């Protein structure tokens, strides 16, 4: 009966919802902390965390409380007016990134678009690049979102096919290769835009020193160094930001996903004053960006990460989880890598597809999702406890036995 209901709901959704995703066959109805329940009453450990948007876990009481209180008071006025909640939220974000100003948006892609606009404007107005000649250097296998401009500099056919014509002004170089960046720089380069660790590409960690080299190249060539921390940031890798694994200071940081506390879309581009001041009234905007509710939730998301020591937990349990996972030997497993609670298990695709493993994990009560056919990600909420990690390990071992 319940099984039939699951099938029926999946079919109903499939009939009216675009097929731009390929969800696992489960219908979820309730979430609490690291756990979610399907409509048949089966419980799962969420190791997917909505692509890292759910670092606080499901329905975190402090986030829900901020949402509730502010939504009864004032939610939306647009930025045609000031509110009480925006300044404290953005001030916190600036402190954490050691930058000066933030421009609030809603989705990650919008914040990336904001960074692109800022970099180009800086290129023309500060670096004096000739009109419409600005170039931004990006990395192969990048994922920065789905707008037509952003997919214009994707190296992935799945993201691009039949969506052209594309936006010019981007140069792709291999990820992890700082010499390639050096070679790609011209007098018209205004920015280097990279993910410090590539998430959607399969949790690809560049060699130590890469970020330091990129930051130095940017500095030496009067080019902005911008990092997309939408997925890697806010504690996912065991530090506030993944760039902090090296001693670098970016000129711009893009945040999103977990910034919304798992309940609301909030993103921002954070930058130095010299960059942000180039945005003048009317030059950029968003109806919902920086609304009163977002300010309250965004601040709660940041302060809760801090007060509940979720970043320390991500570092400690991430190390433990990775070490234990690495002990599992099975021909299906090619490599396991990760940083903090962001772990990728790459499978031997000649033996099995990542999605098949995700289906097996679903059976044993673990929610995960493949990245690029060959990598299974383990990215639980940062509130996870050791007992839950041990529970997950026992289930994962079942799948690989």
Residues within window 371-390 making contact with ligand PLP, judged by CB under 6 A: none
Q: Exactly one of 257, 272, 369, 374 is catalytic; name it.
A: 257
CB of 256 to ligand PLP, least distance (A): 5
Q: Is 107 in the site for ligand PLP (CB under 6 A)?
A: yes
Residues within window 293-322 making contact with ligand PLP, judged by CB under 6 A: none
The closest residue (CB) to ligand PLP is 108
Catalytic residue status for 395: no
Residues within window 255-274 making contact with ligand PLP, judged by CB under 6 A: 256-257
Catalytic residue status for 363: no
Q: Which of 215, 258, 312 is nearest to 53 (CA)?
A: 258
Q: Of 108 and 123, which has the nearer Cβ to ligand PLP?
A: 108
3-state helix, strand, coil in the chain (%, to 5): 40, 20, 45
CB of 262 to ligand PLP, least distance (A): 13
Catalytic residue status for 143: yes
CB of 45 to ligand PLP, least distance (A): 22
User: Are 245 and 339 contacting, i.e. CB atoms less than 8 angstroms apart?
Assistant: yes
The size of the interface with ligand PLP (CB under 6 A), counted in residues, is 16
* φ, ψ dihedrals at 378, nearest 5°: -115, 105
- Kindly tell me which residue out of 54, 63, 112, 227 binds ligand PLP, with binding defined by CB under 6 A: 112
Residues within window 123-152 making contact with ligand PLP, judged by CB under 6 A: 143-145
Spatial neighbors of 315 by CB under 8 A, at least 6 apart, are: 238, 239, 340
Q: Which stretch binds ligand PLP (CB under 6 A): 130-138, 165-173, 227-235, 268-276?
A: 227-235
Burial class (CB in 10 A: 0-12, 13-18, 19+), 252: buried
**Helices 61-73 & 292-307 angle (0-180, nearest 10):** 160
CB of 116 to ligand PLP, least distance (A): 12
Cα angle 240-193-170, degrees, rounded to a multiple of 5:
165
Q: Which stretch binds ligand PLP (CB under 6 A): 83-91, 103-111, 113-121, 352-360?
A: 103-111
Q: Is 340 in the site for ligand PLP (CB under 6 A)?
A: no
CA distances from 357 to 115, 233, 377 (A): 37, 27, 11
Residue 262 and residue 63: Cα distance in Å, rounded?
8
Residue 140 and residue 142: Cα distance in Å, rounded?
5
Spell out where 23-100 has E strands. 28-32, 35-38, 43-46
- Kindly tell me which residue out of 195, 251, 346, 370 binds ligand PLP, with binding defined by CB under 6 A: 195
Partners of 136 in the beta sheet?
170, 191
Q: Of 144 and 171, which has the nearer Cβ to ligand PLP?
A: 144
Which residues form the interface with ligand PLP (CB under 6 A)? 51, 107-109, 112, 143-145, 195, 199-200, 228, 230-231, 256-257
Residues designated catalytic: 143, 228, 257
């Amino acid at each position: 009966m319940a099984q039939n209901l699951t099938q029926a709901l999946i079919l109903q959704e499939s009939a009216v919802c675009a097929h731009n995703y390929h969800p696992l066959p489960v219908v979820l109805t309730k979430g609490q902390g690291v756990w979610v329940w399907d409509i048949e009453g089966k419980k799962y450990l969420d190791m997917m965390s909505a692509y890292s948007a759910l670092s606080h876990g499901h329905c975190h009481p402090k986030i829900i409380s901020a949402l509730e209180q502010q939504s009864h008071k004032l939610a939306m006025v647009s930025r045609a007016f000031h509110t009480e909640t925006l300044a404290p939220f953005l001030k916190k974000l600036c402190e954490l990134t050691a930058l000066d100003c933030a421009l609030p948006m809603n989705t990650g892609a919008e914040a990336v678009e904001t960074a692109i606009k800022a970099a180009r404007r800086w290129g023309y107005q500060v670096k004096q690049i000739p009109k419409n000649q600005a170039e931004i250097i990006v990395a192969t296998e990048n994922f920065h979102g789905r707008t037509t401009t952003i997919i214009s500099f994707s190296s992935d056919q799945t993201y691009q096919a039949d969506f052209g014509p594309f936006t010019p002004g981007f140069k792709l170089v291999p990820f992890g290769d700082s010499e390639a960046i050096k070679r790609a720089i011209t007098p018209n380069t205004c920015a280097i835009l990279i993910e410090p660790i590539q998430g959607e590409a399969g949790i690809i960690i560049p060699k130590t020193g890469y970020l330091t080299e990129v930051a130095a190249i940017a500095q030496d060539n009067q080019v902005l160094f911008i990092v997309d921390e939408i997925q890697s940031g806010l504690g996912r890798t065991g530090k506030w930001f993944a760039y902090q694994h090296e001693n670098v200071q970016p000129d711009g940081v893009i945040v999103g996903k977990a910034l919304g506390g798992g309940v609301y879309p909030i993103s921002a581009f954070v930058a130095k004053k010299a960059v942000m001041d180039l945005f003048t009234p009317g030059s950029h905007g968003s109806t919902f960006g920086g609304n009163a509710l977002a300010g309250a939730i965004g601040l709660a998301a940041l302060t809760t990460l801090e007060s509940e020591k979720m970043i320390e937990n991500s570092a400690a349990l991430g190390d433990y989880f990775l070490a234990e996972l690495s002990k599992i030997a099975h021909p299906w497993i090619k490599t396991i890598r990760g940083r903090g609670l962001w772990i990728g298990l790459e499978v031997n695709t000649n033996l099995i597809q990542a999605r098949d493993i995700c289906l097996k994990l679903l059976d044993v009560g673990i929610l995960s999702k493949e990245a690029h056919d060959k990598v299974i990600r383990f990215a639980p909420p940062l509130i996870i406890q050791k007992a839950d990690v041990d529970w997950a390990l026992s289930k994962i071992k079942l799948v690989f036995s």
